[in-house]
Amino acid sequence: EILLDTSFLRSTNSNIRKVLLSPDHTIFAYTIEHEGMETGSLHFKDLTGGKNVKDNVLEEVFNFVWANDNMTVYYTVPNEQLRPWQVYAHRIGTPQSHDILIFEEVDDMVFVDIVNTKDKKYITINANSLSASEVYIIDAHHDVSKGDTPPLKLIERRSSGIEYYVDHHDDHFYILTNADESGNFKLVRTPDAQPGREHWQDLIKVKSTEKIEDIDLFRSHAVVYAKREGLPVILCYDLHTLGMHEIALPETFCVVNPGANLTTKIYSTFLNERKNQEFETDTFRFSINSPFAHESTWDYNMTSQKLTPVRVHPMHRFDATRFTCERIHVNAEGGVRIPVTLMHRKGIAMDGRNPVLMRSYGAYGQSTEPEFRVEYFPLLERGWVIALAHVRGGSELGRPWYEDGKLLRKKNTFTDFIAVAEYLVKTGVTNPDMLAATGTSAGGLLVGAMCHMRPDLFRALILRVPFVDPLSAMLNPDLPLTRVEYPEWGNPTADPIVYDYIASYAPYDNVPEGRTRPSILVTAGLRDQRVACWHPLKFVARMRERDTAAGSGSDGSGIVLAKVDVDKGHFGAGRDQEQRLKESAFELAFLISQVQR
């Protein structure tokens, strides 16, 4: 039976953001969002035929969860700056105007999200900034049909620099936190009646080279998803014996996609969706995404410690044995060693003639992952090397790695990237006339900085929806997300030191006069609510204004191209595979034409 035919959405430039069944599986709830929008409309479909819910539509919904009565949903709504700040309770079959306001966060730097605990006993309201947390819980069985607001129970008051994320098991709260100088996070627990920090008891701590990224709770076990030296690790913790063992993964260089529960990524696209819904089980499921293979799915029995493949699809017309993935380290300023993941054909000659594409992000603690990307394969088959620079600002090497690439240390991100590029040239992997780089959003800022910091190192640059005018953006608190991002970039309206520092590296404010520069492709989305299209477009305009040769390719200066999609937002084609392939083909044509001309 087809529950939802989404074929009609393409003609309306819309897509499905989230789907969620009611606890008794009688109502199918889903949100539809228009391309580029951060919110959508919440719809309901009765699967029994006994309820008339077709016309019950909620507007401007950011995220939602079900209560346990199968007739109530809790949802968040954003303000004009796209910051989710309110939580409402909605009773199925009633007008949205009758919904009950449950929670409101007035701090402009705080995002509000809602999540069910794994045992379904509570709903957590998470009021998080980029550097601090405050969590409230409400009883998932609370009856709102009479208009009663459910009591809010605070776990721990917000404290600068302290992050925590809450789940529940039996009569204890399990909390993932960086408290007590645990920068790479630890797992603690505390009794229901004593949720405050003074009662937190340590359960799992990790080494300085490891970082806990996620926890998933089951009846008898806790699964810990972590990184060790930037590579994924899964640990299985027995809640009864307190023993712990590591799961041997089928791939070394890969991305593990867990059944997420607690998450330290508040910008998660799908808002804490959980693949492992079952609580009463000894088996959990995860997927592996690796550079040279389709995504594979695996089941792991936590009692027998047996790993079983569920779905492994081979790549057709691609011989992965001809290629290799390796990790090297590059020395940067101050003796810091930058991890770099290299993907290339086996046996390449170090003669300085290999075309190279560098990629990185380096912001918000987001790692640059060695994941499967279809656009890599045409390059790999043509002899390219893909170099993932794990620069500071990401969290590949833990929380300190992230802290060392933000605020007044943001330039470390750029100098790390330059150090990797210089190493690839010095060691004979490539030469500046065959070196290219690509970055998206904040990664576009990083790549954009190369235009004025080291244009001599690169032949071609791709800046996808790039955040190239951070100074203007951070000076305007009315723009979407500006206030939320003060902990990442600083507040130039309040601190002249921050103003001068951002101005010293912002790509738009540092376009040089008349300098020969690489060929540059800049993309923008007219519906982008995160990086407004004027960021990349004014950057292109200034480059062309200050160098009459820019855009023409004459006099040794590279071409400057701007590509604007009038129907797309920050995430481009999103889940539209045909459109994604078209976007990739355009960018590959640009790279190959400029580097392998």
Predicted local distance difference test score (pLDDT) of residue 260:
40
Question: Tens digit of pLDDT for each residue in 340-351?
Answer: 999 999 999 999
Predicted confidence (pLDDT) per residue in 16-55, tens digit:
889 999 999 999 999 998 877 889 999 999 998 767 677 7
- What is the band of 263 on the pLDDT scale with cuts at 50, 70, 90? very low
Residue 558 has pLDDT above 80, yes or no: yes
Distance (Å, rounded) from C-alpha 517 to C-alpha 460?
9
DSSP state of 228: E
At CA 400, angle to CA 256 and CA 174, rounded to 5?
55
Q: How far apart are the C-alpha atoms of 448 and 462, rounded to whole Å?
A: 9
SS (H, E, C) 108-137: CCCEEEEEECCCCCEEEEEEECCCCEEEEE
According to the model, what pLDDT value does residue 288 have?
93
Q: Given a cut of 90, is residue 515 above it in pLDDT?
A: no
pLDDT at 269: 32
Mean pLDDT of 268-282: 58
Q: In sequence order, what are the beta bridge partners of 561?
A: 521
Whether 220 is catalytic: no
Quick one: average pLDDT of 546-550? 65
pLDDT at 363 over 60: yes
The tally of domains found in the chain comes to 3
Q: Beta strands 306-311 and 244-247: pairing type? A: unpaired
Q: Can you give the C-alpha Rg of the chain in angstroms?
A: 25
Are 219 and 266 members of one domain? yes
As a whole number, mean pLDDT of residues 109-136 equals: 95
> What is the band of 259 on the pLDDT scale with cuts at 50, 70, 90?
low
pLDDT of 552: 53
Question: Do 409 and 439 belong together in one domain?
Answer: yes
Report the CATH number at residue 309: 2.130.10.120
- Give the confidence band of 574 by pLDDT, cuts at 50, 70, 90: low
Q: If you average pLDDT over every residue of the chain, what do you get?
A: 90
Q: Are residues 192 and 60 in the same domain?
A: no
- 262 pLDDT more than 70: no
- Domain boundary among the residues 313, 328, 358 is at 313
From the candidates 172, 344, 535, 570, which is the catalytic residue?
Answer: 570
For residues 276 and 338, the model is more confident at 338
Q: Tokens 């709903």 appear where? A: 123
pLDDT in tens, 410-448: 999 999 999 999 999 999 999 999 999 999 999 999 999
What are the backbone dihedrals phi and psi of residue 170, each rounded to the nearest 5 degrees, phi first? Answer: 55, -120
Q: Under DSSP, is residue 312 helix (H, G, I), strand (E, B) or coil?
A: coil
- Alpha-carbon distance of 74 to 63, in angstroms, equals 8
**Given 313, 340, 375, which residue is the final one in a domain?**
313
Query: Which of 441, 472, 519, 557 is flagged as catalytic?
Result: 441
Catalytic residue (one of 528, 535, 557, 565): 528
Do 358 and 266 have their domain in common? Answer: no
Q: Are residues 173 and 82 in the same domain?
A: no
Identify the sign of the CA torsion 535, 538, 543, 549.
positive
For 199-251, what is each residue's pLDDT tens digit?
999 999 988 888 999 999 999 999 999 999 889 999 999 999 999 999 999 99
pLDDT at site 431: 97
**Confidence (pLDDT) at 272:** 37
Return phi, psi of residue 224, to 5°: -110, 120
Residues 97 and 46 reside in one and the same domain: yes
- Residue 353: is its pLDDT beyond 80? yes
Residue range 317-329, pLDDT digits in tens: 888 999 999 999 9
More confident residue, 262 or 564: 564
pLDDT for 266 = 34
- How does residue 487 score in pLDDT terms, banded at 50, 70 and 90? very high
Q: Domain check: are 259 and 241 in the same one?
A: yes
Same domain, 563 and 425: yes
Q: For position 500, what pLDDT does the model report?
A: 98
Which pairing describes strands 460-464 and 435-440: parallel, antiparallel, or unpaired? Answer: parallel
% residues pLDDT > 90 (the chain) = 74
Identify the three-state secondary structure at position 586: helix
- Burial of 26: CB neighbours in 10 Å, binned 0-12, 13-18, 19+: middle
Q: Is the pLDDT of residue 568 over 60?
A: yes
Helix (H) or strand (E) holding 478: none
**Each residue of 276-308: pLDDT tens digit?**
678 888 999 999 999 999 899 999 999 999 999
Q: Does 199 qualify as catalytic in the annotation?
A: no
Looking at the structure, do residues 263 and 391 belong to the same domain, yes or no?
no
Band the pLDDT of 274: cuts 50, 70, 90: very low
Give me the pLDDT at residue 180, please: 94
CB atoms within 10 A of CB 448: 31
Report the pLDDT value the prediction gives residue 195, as an integer from 0 to 100: 96
Residues 156-215 have pLDDT tens digits of: 999 999 999 999 998 999 999 999 999 999 999 999 999 999 999 999 998 888 899 999
Q: Which of 94, 129, 157 is the last residue of a domain?
A: 157
The model's confidence at residue 270, banded by pLDDT at 50, 70 and 90, is: very low
In this structure, the answer to whether residues 475 and 411 fall within a common structural domain is yes
Domain match, 139 and 169 both? no
Which range has the worst mean pLDDT, 514-518, 542-546, 591-595? 514-518
pLDDT for the residue 273? 44
Residue-range definition of the domain harbouring residue 272: 163-313
Helix 534-546, helix 442-453: angle, nearest 10: 10
Q: The domain that contains 386 carries what CATH number?
A: 3.40.50.1820
Q: Is 528 a catalytic residue?
A: yes
Residues 521 and 577 in one domain: yes
Instruction: Please state the length of the chain.
Output: 597
